[in-house]
Amino acid sequence: MAVYLVTGAAGFIGANYVHRLLEWEPDAQVIAVDYIGFAGNMTNVAAVIDRIVFEQADIADLAAMEALYRAHRPDFVVNFAAESHNDRAIVGPSAFMRSNALGAQVMAECSRLVPVKSHVHVSTIEVYGELPPSEPWFTERSPLNAKTPYSASKAAGDQMVRAYMATYPAMNIRLTHCANNFGPYQLPEKLIPLAVTNVLRGRKVPVYGDGLQSRDWLHVTDHCDAVHKVLHADLGPIPRAAATDPGLLPIFDISARHEVTNLEIAHLVVTALGLEPSEWIEHIEDRPNHDRRYVINPEKLETELGWRPTHQFETAMAETVRWYRDNRDWWEQVIAAKGELAFDWSQVAPAAMN
């Protein structure tokens, strides 16, 4: 029986992965780790709580995490744990550095001290920064060029993971970057669930600036499938040439090749709810240092591991909107516990930028 240690397991992507993992391997032992920070929500794993071992712990706490490793002896580790909201990172960057940079190092160190069969560190497209107009997409060879506190903290974690790959090649540690995710259990501070929950409460959808910021969108289940494929892939040793060519490292970019603007997302949500977009969308002040466009190329993942997304974007978007409509209790409890999640930068920005 395989033992999986999954961090960030009560968050959006981590919870979806835990649900998916138990479908793939009903007999697996799943150690679900989360410190229940801002984005953690035990309700996300309530349906499977009797089938997992839940451990509340901070991935940046080396002693606590090493103790968990020694107690459970995982075969496979997937680190989803992260603080992941650009807006909150602008207001308070320190928590992001702790989870995303130090946490990445601690997890890698635990997998070195208590060896596992493979370890996947889950990162984001945003570490590459803003895509230049001259480039069609980022790839695994693109330089890390993060420019926001959130993406910089993730890039710092990436750099540490890359260092472990090169320094401890027997560790079998892998790294993924994903496009923007959507689907069930996403905290309603992110664009799609914020848009749906606003409209369902009779509020307009807030769109930053002109709304033409362009993103690569990926259904969370497709993302989980890709991560699992990377986790179990037989990749062989890291070649010496990877010292100067990061494309040869065990790094995989995950994308469904579907680019959409934020304004188009807002239109899709409002339309799916049977309303007129012109009446339900409002443009508000943009956040500071907002990346204009980013897209990644999943060719390496497709070619080397045979992964393909299974969700058609428009259909999956409609299903996602229905999920939030049909699970009103879930998001109402989130908002009751955390307060309003939208940022008004006309009010926040002066204090945040001092």
Give the pLDDT of residue 340. Answer: 87
Give the pLDDT of residue 354. Answer: 56
Give the pLDDT of residue 271. Answer: 98
Which residues of the chain are under the pLDDT cut of 70? 349-354
* CATH class of the domain defined by 3-187+217-257+295-311: alpha beta
Give the pLDDT of residue 283. Answer: 97
Q: Give whole-number Cα distances, 312 to 219, 299, 308, 316, 320, in Å.
A: 9, 18, 11, 6, 12
Q: CA-CA distance, 188 to 71, in Å (whole number)?
A: 35
**How many CB atoms lie under 10 A from the CB of residue 317?**
23
Give the pLDDT of residue 352. Answer: 52
| Identity at 299, one-letter amino acid code | E
Three-class DSSP category at 353: coil
Q: What are phi and psi of 79, to 5 degrees?
A: -100, 95
Q: CA-CA distance, 121 to 111, in Å (whole number)?
A: 11
Three-class DSSP category at 180: strand
CB 253 within 8 A of CB 296: yes
Give the pLDDT of residue 349. Answer: 52
Dmax (CA) for the chain in angstroms is 58
Give the pLDDT of residue 289. Answer: 86
CB 10 within 8 A of CB 32: yes
Domain positions in the chain are 3-187+217-257+295-311
Q: CA-CA distance, 260 to 240, in Å (whole number)?
A: 38
Q: Strand pairing of 173-178 and 251-254?
A: parallel
DSSP 134: T
Q: CA-CA distance, 84 to 68, in Å (whole number)?
A: 24
pLDDT in tens, 206-244: 999 999 999 999 999 999 999 999 999 999 999 999 999
**351: Cβ contacts below 8 Å, ≥ 6 apart:** none
